Structure formats: C-alpha cells, structure tokens
Chain A
Amino acid sequence: MDAVADPHWKLLPHGRFRVRVLIALIQHHWFIRLRWVFATLATLLLLFERLGPGGEGRPWVLWVVVGAIFVVNAGWTLVGRSLRSVFASAESASGIVVRDVVVFVNAQMAVDIFLLTMILRFSGGVENPMAVFYLFHMLIAALLLKPLNALVQGAWALALYAALGIGECVEWIRPPYPFVGGVAANGLHTNWTYVLTGIAVLAAGIVGTLYFTLQISLRLDEQEAELLRSNDALRQSREAIEKLQDKRLRFLRTAAHQLKSPLTGIEMLAGLIRDGVVGADGVVHIVQRIIGRCREAIVQVGELLTLARIEQSSATRHRPSVTRVIEALEAIAARYRPQAEAKELCLATRFDLVEQALIAVERRDFEDCVGNLVDNAVKYTPAGGTVTLAAETQQGLLRLTVRDTGMGIATESLEEIFEPYHRGNAALAANIPGTGLGLSVVREVAEQAGGRIEVHSREGEGSEFVLLLPLAGPPTSAEKTGSSEPDVELEGKRGDGRAEDGEDIGCSIASSPGKAC
C-alpha cells in the first residue's frame, strides 16, 4: 500500500489499521448484509403491526420506503461485486480502488441517512425516537472515515432531520403521520419548542458521538504509528545485529585458522626432531624456529585483542576521550626510532600544529593506529631509506602522513590491504614477518573516530598513508577533573603550567622541534 505517492490515499484516515478494516468490510459486503437484516426486521415489524390489533394505521408509502431499502441494497450488491474483482486483498489496494471504496461507503451512508429520514417522515417525524438510529451512522463514520468526511455525513443527517422537523411544523410537509399506528398524531410536531429541542438534541448527539469517537480513533492511530515505529526500529537493529554477527563469525573463522598456522608449524617442526629427520646439529636451528613461531603467535593474539578492544570500545563508550596529538606523536616516534636506526633508516618528523591540538580518540587506540603505520613503514623500507611522520591541521581535521621509500604496494592490492590477514606477495616473498592485522586496526580506529585512511603507493618506490581524523574541541571541565571511568583518558593534567590553556589557542602554532635528517 503505497500511501506516499498516490494522492487518493488522502481520502482515507491516517491509521492503516482502520483503513484495512474499512476495506475488509467493503470486501465482505458487511454494510450490505446488515442492511438486508435491518430491512427484513423492519418488514417483519410492519407485518406484525399489521396483523395485530388496530393494524390499519401505517401509510402504504412506508411500505414503499422499506421496499426501497431492498431495491437499493440490491443495487449496492451489484456495485460491490464489480469493486471486489478489482482488489485481491485489503493489503494490495491501489489508489483508484481507495477512491472507489470511499465513494461507495459515503454513498451508502448518505442514502441510508436519507431513507431513515423517509421512514421517520412516515412514522411520526420528530415524535419518533428512532432518530437515535442516525447515531449508528455517526459511529461508523467516525471509526472508519476521515474526520471531515464524518462531519459531512453528520451535517447531512442533521440537515435532513431539521428539514423534516421544521417542514412538518410549518406544514410544508403534509400530512403528518403518527408514530404509533392508528393513534392520532398528538400535535407535538407543531410545537416549535418541541421541534427545536428535538433538533438540538439530535445535533448534540451527532456532534458528541462524532467528537468522542473521532478522539478515540485518532488515539488509536497514534498508538498504531508508535507501534509501527518501534517495529521499524526493532527490525533495523536486528538487521544491524545480524550483519555484525556475520562479520564477527567470518573474522572468527579466519582468526582461528590464522592462529592455527603458527601452532601447526610448531608441531611440524617438533615432529622433525621427533622423527629424526634432523640430526643433532640441526636441532638447535629447528628449536629457534619454534621459538620464533611462538613469539609470532603471541604477537598475533595481542593484535587480535587490540582489534577486539577497539571494536568493543565503540559500543561501550559513554563519553569520548581526547588525546593531545603532539604528545602522542612524539611518544610514537620515540618508540620506533631505535628500530629505524638499527635498520639505518632516517625517521623524520614534522608537526605543523598547535600544542593543544586534540582528537576525540583514546590514546591507546591512536598510538596503536599510528604506531602500526610507522611500524609498517619501517618494516617494509630497506636500509638507507627514509620514513617521514608528518602532522598538520586542515579544515578542522588532523591530517597525518606516514611516508616511506620502501617496497610499495601493488595498485590492485590498494583496497585489499586493509582487510584482516591480508599480506602482500612482495612481503611474503621477502620473508617480512607480519600478522596482516595492522592496517585493519588502522582502518577500524579511523572509521570509528569519523575519519578515514587513504593510501598512495608505487611499487618499488614507496608508500604514503594519509590518516584524517576530526579534531576535538578543548576538554570540558568534567573531563579535565578526570573521572574514574576507565574509558576516559584525557592526556595532560590540569594546572600543568601551560600558559596557553584556554587562551589564544589560535595563536601559538607550535612547530614541534621537527626532526629532519
């Protein structure tokens, strides 16, 4: 049921439940069937009267009116049949059918109201308490139709009744017929007070019924809308959960296999010793390989835990923690400098940003992320090369570049390198150790912080990784006092003597003593 595009749906009330009920009732010819019943009852009543004592009183016209109900109902039946073939179910009704349904219901109701008025005309007019039956129609209208639509039917009923009452009162409509057959009319219908009161009472009844029933209908619509909203939200979160579970499962499978690798390697190497494939002089060499494999497995487990921690922390983080960029970068550079020097690489740093620059990332995550980039750069660059770690701010973003003059990455692999456990062929061929998880960690941290990681590379020449992270504002006082929550790690204590704290943040562009080689 596409309510949005088709203007015909404006003819129906908002609540889909009520609309479906309406369409279902039409489909099952509910109104028509009720009318058969009513007409039959009316006929039986008249017959009963006729056959009883003093049975001559009713005008033949009344019989005609009751007969008309049967005829009209037969007509509605034909119309209903032609409508039924157009829709298969209440679910699939189209806009045109909607219009037809609304017109059909309104036509039936308007004719019913008219026929009721005719019956009243020939059986007592305003003296006939059966005016109460108008309210049945008001109920149905308020339950199943739009408020304005219901009001229109109500006005129609009131207008007809008023016309009847006033008409009989001023004798435009003649002759009057009694309410109780055979008993002379008691003349109340000529009494203005009585007539006007009667009309007023009906008006109050119609308005009251419409108002209260419409209020209830609208509340029902609201409840339904809320129900649909929460169903939607449930469905969305279920889909999200399923996707996450899928991802986790795939990751788990690959992780399990990857961890098995070093273990089966160790088993195989130990088997060589056990089966005497290596002589006594070869044993030490094999054992060293075994130890190397053990270390590798330990590193892998560590990285998996890091990845798990980073993925986990996004779900449980309550308040974002902030990190001072320059401090963290200097720590990272200091950590990898020995490694670089051992390989005779130049590790250059260039920080072109404010001392207090902050990012909304936990210190550990940031260090893992940037650390992995620097680690890769050092690992994959042969002796004599250069690794550069540069940072600057750019339109509210922190732009971090790690450039190396190493072996580079094949163009077709540039997308895959961020997938867990991916290792480049060149790296494998050159026997460079690695778990293949480093860049997954980088991407995870970047994406969670609302940033991204880019890579440019040329095989044989080197690579450049650009990490973009949104800058954070200065810490609020709540964060500064340092809560006991473990996930809030604000670097830099309060009152540490920095003159710039909170003042002149824009002015002091501190170029950290950049190390160049």
Chain B
Amino acid sequence: MAGEHILVVDDDADVREALRLMLEPKGYKVTLCATGPEGRELARTRVPDLILLDIMLATVSEGLHVAYELQKDESLAHVPIIMISSIGETLGLDYASEVGTDYLPATCFLPKPLTAAMVLEAVEQALTEARTEKSGA
C-alpha cells in the first residue's frame, strides 16, 4: 500500500540505494541509514511501518542486537522487521529456519542478493499482516 514508511538499515551504500530504487517507485516512503545506533534512533523518533534490517553492520551480529532492542521497546514491538544478510550462506547458518524465534525476532528473512520481486513481495506481505493484526487484535 502506498505511503507507508519503511526504514532501511544497512552499511552497504549500494544496498541502500538499490532498496530505495525498488521501493520509492511503488509509493513507499523510504528512510536510509547506515549504522545500528542511527537505525535505533530513527526507529524511535519516526516509528516506521516496517524496518529492513541488515544483520551484519559494523560488527558481525549487530543487526540482531538492534532487533532485540526494538522488540523490547513497547512502542516499537509491533513494527515488522525483515532481516537481510548474505552471512547465512557463508557461515553455514540457516537463518531462514530461525525466523520468528527469540534468536531471530523478525517476520521474515531475505538472503542477499536481493531482487526487486523478492523485496516487494516480502514487504507487502509483512505490511498486510501487520495491518490485519492491528485491526484484528
């Protein structure tokens, strides 16, 4: 749905740019940031409708820690998080299977490299679910 605010947290400038190019034409409002602390700050102040969060930021698992903190914050716990990374394949970790658990508190996990179709589908699904939860619960 158009107009929703998406926050992108990724240390890779090209990923940020690519996500912007994928999402803005579809009518989403996109905020980009490169670091964990910035991401947390922006999430708190702007309260986005969805967060696209990279797992490996300045350190190997910083993204996960950011997610944990967002979960703990009551005002932000409802915001769906989609986690992205290419680290899963390299280290042999199966992030996809951990989705939704305490270890990976996200609604969805996207492995890099991202394609427009993959991202848009995941974003739309997450936003729809969040909307139904909000109206239903």
Q: Which residues of A are interface residues toward B (Cβ below 8 A)? A: 253-254, 256-257, 260-261, 264-269, 271-272, 275, 277-278, 282, 289, 293, 422-425, 428-429, 431
Contacts and interface: CB of A to CB of B under 8 A. Distances in A.
A271 B17 CA distance: 13
Contact of B58 (A272, A278, A293, A423): A423
Contact of B117 (A260, A275, A422, A423): A275
A307 B22 CA distance: 38
Contact of A264 (B17, B58, B86, B117): B86
Interface string B19-41: 00110010000000111111000
Contacts of B116: 271-272, 275, 277
B122 to A, nearest CB: 15
B113 interface: yes
A275 B90 contact: no
Contacts of B15: 265, 268
Given A253-B90, A257-B90, 20 more contacts: A260-B86, A261-B12, A265-B15, A266-B14, A267-B113, A268-B15, A268-B115, A269-B14, A269-B17, A271-B116, A272-B21, A275-B117, A278-B21, A422-B59, A425-B58, A428-B34, A428-B58, A429-B33, A429-B34, A429-B35
A393 to B, nearest CB: 38
Contacts of A268: 14-15, 18, 112-115
B77 interface: no
Contact of A272 (B18, B56, B57): B18
B137 interface: no
Interface residues of B, number: 31
Nearest to B19: A268
Contact of A261 (B22, B33, B86): B86
A453 B58 CA distance: 23
Contacts of B56: 257
6 contacts: A261-B12, A265-B12, A269-B14, A271-B116, A282-B21, A428-B11
B13 interface: yes
B2 interface: no
A456 to B, nearest CB: 22
Contacts of A275: 115-117
B91 interface: yes
A475 B37 CA distance: 52
B130 interface: no
A215 to B, nearest CB: 61
A428 B21 contact: no
Contact of B25 (A257, A277, A289, A423): A277
A220 B49 CA distance: 80
B87 interface: yes
A423 B113 CA distance: 22
B37 A425 contact: yes
B35 A428 contact: yes
Top 4 nearest A-B pairs (CB, nearest first) are A265-B14, A268-B113, A425-B35, A267-B113
Contacts of A253: 90-91
A423 B36 CA distance: 13
A215 B49 CA distance: 88
A408 to B, nearest CB: 16
Contacts of A428: 11, 34-35, 57-58
A122 B135 CA distance: 117
A253 B90 CA distance: 8
Contacts of B21: 272, 277-278, 282
Interface string B91-117: 100000000000000000000111111
A293 B17 CA distance: 13
B114 A424 contact: no
A264 B90 CA distance: 12
Contacts of B117: 275
Nearest to B11: A428
B113 A271 contact: yes
A431 B18 contact: no
A348 to B, nearest CB: 32
Contacts of B58: 422-425, 428
Contacts of A261: 12, 86
A3 to B, nearest CB: 47
A257 B114 contact: no
Contacts of A269: 14, 17-18
Interface in B30-78: 33-38, 56-60
Which of B58, B60, B86 has most A Cβ within 10 Å?
Answer: B58
A275 B114 CA distance: 12
Contacts of A266: 14
A465 B86 CA distance: 34
Contacts of B14: 265-266, 268-269, 289, 293
B22 A272 contact: yes
A264 B88 CA distance: 13
Contacts of B113: 264-265, 267-268, 271
Contacts of A282: 21
Nearest to B37: A425
A271 B18 CA distance: 9
